[in-house]
Structure 1
Amino acid sequence: MKKNVSILICFIISFMFSVSGNCQNQQKSKPNIIFIMADDLGWTDLSSSNTSLDNGSKYYESPNIDELAKQGKSFTYAYTQQNCQPTRAALHSGQYATGPQNGVYNVGSLKRASKGDTTPIIPHTQNNYLKEECVSMFETLKTVGYHTAWFGKFHAIKLGEQAKSYLGVDYNLALHKETKATVNGVNVKNEFFAQNDDANGWTFEIEELKPYAQPYNATYIKNVLEPMKNGNDPWLLEGTPKHLTDALGDAVVDYIKDRSQEKEPFFAYIPFHAVHVSILPRPDLEAKYKAKTSQDPRHTDAEYAAFVELLDQTVGRILNALEDPNGDGNTQDGIAENTLVVFYSDNGGFMGPTDNTPLRLRKGTYYEGGVRVPLIFRYPGVITPNTVNTTQEVHTIDFYPTLADIAGVKLPDPQMHEIDGKSVAPVLREETEALNDKKELYWHFPGYMDVRNMPQSVIHYRHTNNQHYKLFYRYEDDSYELYNLSKDIGEKTNLLEGKPSRGTLNLAKKMNSKLQKWLIQRNAPTGTWAKNGEKVPYPQKKGIKKYK
């Protein structure tokens, strides 16, 4: 009898451990997801050495994001579209702008030539918003039980409310950055700071942020800002208007607290407006940097430095909320261990406030300064801490399938919604250093954007020995540029100038052929010639021959 009881006890204990293990495995298969996207944060704008091959700023300070990089994996070949709107459309759809539900190539339109300029090519007419038949990544994650939330800038949809109606967002705080108010009967607007409206009191643009619009008071400064201070004096803020970045942080922290009590996982998408112009930081941080001497000749703007650190402190608050959701100092209720955190930027830095050196040029271009950005993934127990991947290229379109892979959800039927991106989850799990079926990235721009962009197509290609190359094709004059990014990160030497070697020419032909095939398969628009109304042709297979 005792023997049978012992066997029964062993069986029960074994079953309990089995159930516990299964629950843990199930939990790991459905992590919470926090996706943080900065606005116009350049590749060199963090002080971290992990995210930019030791090219980080020696003036700007981002200790919280730097710590996130130490806790996770950074990718040094992370890419976006050239400016805000197309990046967001690509993120939500998992498609290049040439995708059937996308078609968003630029902010506003493709007819943005410099004032007074006549152009040889009549630009394509783009979509300004994702189509309603788009199956967004929010909708896909919802199929396996995720609660979805949006905090901040929208820009790829018609109105904030439509984030709910066709993108699948459960909790919607999508908004512009401008706050409009009526003061003494006069309509006024402000960027980034709450306003005191005669009729409604302190407000931001949307009603849902009103609870977070009150001016900084002593309780808020002591409990929220003091713990995050880093050489700044938050008491300078007492009685002054709340910054939008802080208000969004407040909303996210409250959301994490609420959702930590629920069984279903959540996906929180947090596209901050920081550090987009106008550069309006929090005054206490601005005072800090005006008193600090820059040790970095690239970075000297105190206001921009203060804006970067405001973003960083808010990210730090979000990360702290994952460790201690109810803020009582006891981390037993923490959910950080079962939360994937992604940090990213929507495009390269906007030159003027910052400098993207050693990368070439800025936001709005397809040179590295316009499309190469910081990227960090943190997922405890799955992603090895303090690691840097210097091989695998990652593009905006890859987040959709990557998050779906990690969440264990099937992608949409390609007949309904075809995904262009590839999951980099195997790289995150260190099953491989780089994907063999993902060696190319593409950009296509059938129009104009002031002096920064013109009709062109671009391919990024990882060649033998993981050498990264980028080929540009310009439609106006049928010209090419080829750069070896692994040896020439600043894109200073066009390998097709002068007398290129046979090997260089063969590589250029190979990349050109891939680019042409990609364009043809997608029926990518190219615009029409102004002189005769004919369609502008794709790059020719033998187009590189003229460089012999």
Structure 2
Amino acid sequence: MKLIKLFLLLSFIVQGHAKAASEPNIIFLMADDLGWVDIHSPNATAGHGSNYHETPNIDKLAQQGMSFTHAYTQQNCQPTRTALISGQYAPGAYNNTYNVHSLDRADGKLPEDVLANITPYQQQEKGIDTSSTSIFEMLQNAGYHTAWFGKNHGTGSDSDVTSNHGIDYNYATKKKVKGKRNGKKRVSNYLALKDDKQGWILDGPMAKYAQPYTEDYIRKNLMPYANGNNPMEVVGKTKHYSDALADALIDYLIERKARPEQPFIAYVPFHAVHSGIVTRDDLHTKYKSKKSKDPRHKKAKYAGFVEQLDQTVGRILANVDSLGLAKNTLVIFTSDNGGVSKITSNKPLRNFKGTFYEGGLRVPFIARLPGVIAPNSVSAQPIHIIDTYPTLADAAGVDLDAAKIPQELDGASIFSVLNGKKNSLDRNALFWHFPGYMDSRNKPSSLIQKRIGLGKNQATYKLFFDYTNGEYELYNITQDISEMNNLLAAPTTETKKIAASMNTELIQWLSNYKAPTGHWRVNGDVVTYPATDMKSFSIPSN
């Protein structure tokens, strides 16, 4: 009897280890403000990538995995991150986050054609509802060890990611560090600070990695990824946050390598390449002497920062490989929104971060999992950041119905596309809604994007509705990636039919979510949803 019990126990242990080994580790790399064409990769950018910025490591990742050429986010950082972590669109009951800080950001800089005639929605959350089950809690409950390295936005304080959102290993840190130097208060952005009492520091636990660059450090950690730059130029100089972040992550990977019985997720929201731009000196030197062959991209400091991000990614992935983790690690690389106006160009995409045009929403998205995801593959399937939650659940073998998470997920798992079992999702439409103002970039508006037609006749359309003036815009982004030809300016019978159908679907989506719209300033009445006939939307007169 004892032998039988021992056999059953050993069988359980072996099965447990086999199950753990089949669950992939996950490394989710998210750049900040990196535009779709800021990288070079032809796969990830449908051939539109930069010919000035060099990103060989991200390009290599794209060759090793699948790139999605139509990957979308929210229009700026915090709403994208809360959508990722909650799995819900902005109007979702557990999300309710549309903008950074406030929706009342008209600030007197609106263009003449934008009417500030709406009092914005005032009850948006500062972060996702803590009663939700975050993407990290979902994986933690499934047996994953969870880690966070980098920017925190939309989840409360840096300590809250542990107490409220299921993070076991917390390196949620800011790119700025405060201290005193020679008795005076100082703030350093991206670079370590030598504090009078503490010595060299970066924010929070990152202080461990704040020492200036040494020759040994550079030879081991920077030289292997040099690409026409000379890292020895920074010997003795102040440590950059991005390099310190990689140090912290690599130490974590070494630790997890020693504990193969438990899969892990490392969420890595970089601060790079968010402004203000602080580029490591050797990379700035490289681009100052490099003549751009790309009329869109000519800024040496920004180009150096993009490549610094790329070399950081390369260093992380090289360590994943050398530690023997690559075969069972799903790596995802993406960005939180489009590139920033006056810092970079998103052409051929229209506009930039903060807007609902392609330049604000379309981002790189690359996934690698050897033996599961075909190398050098490309998908034109439109995907959204909300799809990450169910996708990672699918990859980890989590039954979301059995998990009984409180919030309803809005996304769809793309794992069947990643593993080649399907070419496309059944879902045809994506939605956005913004009930307020974001300086000169956004205004009260709603958007539906939809695939229409079959086979070679299939096209993707975007229908915008502007609540401030009751006007619509319709674009066929399959034929007009730059969104220059508003099909409703001179509509045909066919385009009217397409617009009407999309408008009906948009109204239904807004109604289902009880999406807020704000109030008319002139009389305090609630702003209504778009009119079903696309004509009778009422704007009160002053």
Same-fold call, TM cutoff 0.5: yes
For structure 1, list consecutive stretches of 5 or more residues without a partner in the other structure. 1-17, 326-333
**In structure 1, C-alpha distance between the alignment counterparts of 2:377 and 2:65, rounded to whole Å:** 6
Letter in 2 for 1:108: H
Q: Is the 8 A contact 2:429 2:449 kept in 1?
A: yes
Matched, 1:520 2:508: no
* Matches of 1:319 and 1:383, distance apart in 2: 16
Percent of matched pairs sharing the same residue: 50
2:334 pairs with 1:336: no
What is the aligned partner in structure 1 of residue 540 from structure 2? Answer: none
The residue type equivalent to 1:169 in the other structure is I
Equivalent of 2:42, from 37, 49, 53?
49
Residue of structure 2 equivalent to 1:171 = 169
Paired residues for 1:318-333 under 5 Å: 318-325=316-323
Q: How does 1:19-418 map onto structure 2 within 5 Å?
A: 26=19, 29-115=22-108, 119-125=116-122, 126-206=124-204, 208-262=205-259, 263-325=261-323, 334-390=324-380, 392-411=381-400, 416-418=406-408
- C-alpha contact (below 8 Å) 1:529/1:535 kept by paired residues: yes
Q: Indicate whether 1:474 and 2:463 are aligned.
A: no
Matches within 5 A, 1:427-442: 427-436=417-426, 438-442=427-431
Cα 1:280–1:359 change in 2 (3 A) is same
1:469·1:482 contact (CA, 8 Å) conserved in 2?
yes
Moved more, 86-95 or 175-184: 175-184
Kept after mapping to 1: 8 A contact 2:109/2:440: no
Provide the rounded CA distance (Å) in 2 between the counterparts of 1:70 and 1:23.
34
Task: Give the corresponding residue for 1:331.
Answer: none
Post-superposition offset of 1:119: 2.1
Structure 2 residue identity aligned to 1:507: I
Distance 2:107 2:118 in 1: 14
Kept after mapping to 1: 8 A contact 2:473/2:488: yes
Residue 342 of structure 1 and its aligned partner are, at CA, apart by 0.2
Give me the whole-angstrom Cα distance separating, in 2, the residues matched to 1:520 and 1:51: 35
The worse-fitting range, judged by mean Cα deviation, of 27-36 and 275-284 is: 27-36
Q: Distance in 2 between matches of 1:29 and 1:93?
A: 25
Confirm or deny: 8 A CA contact 1:88 1:346 kept in the other structure. yes
- C-alpha contact 2:470 2:530 (8 A) present in aligned 1: yes
Flag as ranges the 4+ runs of structure 1 deviating above 3 A: 21-29, 412-415
CA 1:116 to 1:230, structure 2 compared with 1: closer, same or farther past 3 Å? closer
Matched residues in 2 for 1:224 and 1:184: separation? 32
- Tell me, yes or no, if the aligned pair for 1:73 and 1:384 is still in contact at 8 Å: yes
CA contact (8 A) 2:31 2:273 kept: yes
Shift of 1:29: 3.8
- The answer on whether the counterparts of 2:503 and 2:532 sit within 8 Å (CA) in structure 1 is yes
1:457 aligns with 2:446: yes
Decide whether the 8 Å contact of 1:27 with 1:338 is kept in 2: no
Shift of 1:230: 0.6
Q: Distance in 1 between matches of 2:52 and 2:18?
A: 43
Partner SS for 1:51:
helix
Q: Give the whole-Å Cα distance in 1 for the aligned partners of 2:288 and 2:176.
A: 26
CA RMSD of aligned residues (A): 1.8
Alignment partners' CA distance in 1, 2:362 and 2:163 = 32
Deviations 1:151-172 (A, max 9, x none): 0000112200000011000001
* TM-score w.r.t. length of structure 2: 0.93
From 529, 539, 546, the counterpart of 2:530: 539
- Whether the aligned pair in 2 keeps the contact of 1:47 and 1:60 (CA below 8 Å) is yes
* Residues in 2 aligned to 1:351 and 1:226: alpha-carbon distance in whole angstroms: 33
Contact 1:472 1:481 in 2 (8 A): yes
Q: Which amino acid aligns with 1:398?
A: D
Does the alignment pair 1:496 with 2:488?
A: yes
Deviates further, 339-348 or 457-466: 457-466
CA 545–132 in structure 1, closer or farther in 2 if over 3 Å, else same: closer
Contact 1:73 / 1:378 at 8 angstroms: preserved in 2? yes
Letter of the aligned partner of 1:473 in structure 2? F
Q: Which runs of 5+ in 2 are unaligned?
A: 1-10, 538-542
Cα gap change, 1:116 to 1:271, in 2 (>3 Å) = closer
Aligned pair count reads 517
Deviation at 1:22, TM superposition (A): 7.9
Letter of the 1:185 partner, please give it. G
Q: Deviations along 1:242-271, whole A, 9 cap, x unmatched?
A: 000000011011111110111100000000
Tell whether the 8 Å contact from 1:46 to 1:56 is kept in structure 2 after alignment: yes
CA distance in 2, matches of 1:24, 1:435: 33
Q: Secondary structure at the match of 2:463?
A: strand
Q: Is the 8 A contact 2:133 2:405 kept in 1?
A: no
CA offset at residue 80 of structure 1? Answer: 0.4
8 A Cα contact 1:347 1:373, kept in partner? yes
User: Counterparts of 1:396 and 1:123 in 2: how far apart (Å)?
Assistant: 25
Mapped to 1, the partners of 2:280 and 2:267 lie a distance apart of 23
Whether contact under 8 Å (1:196, 1:203) holds in the other structure is yes
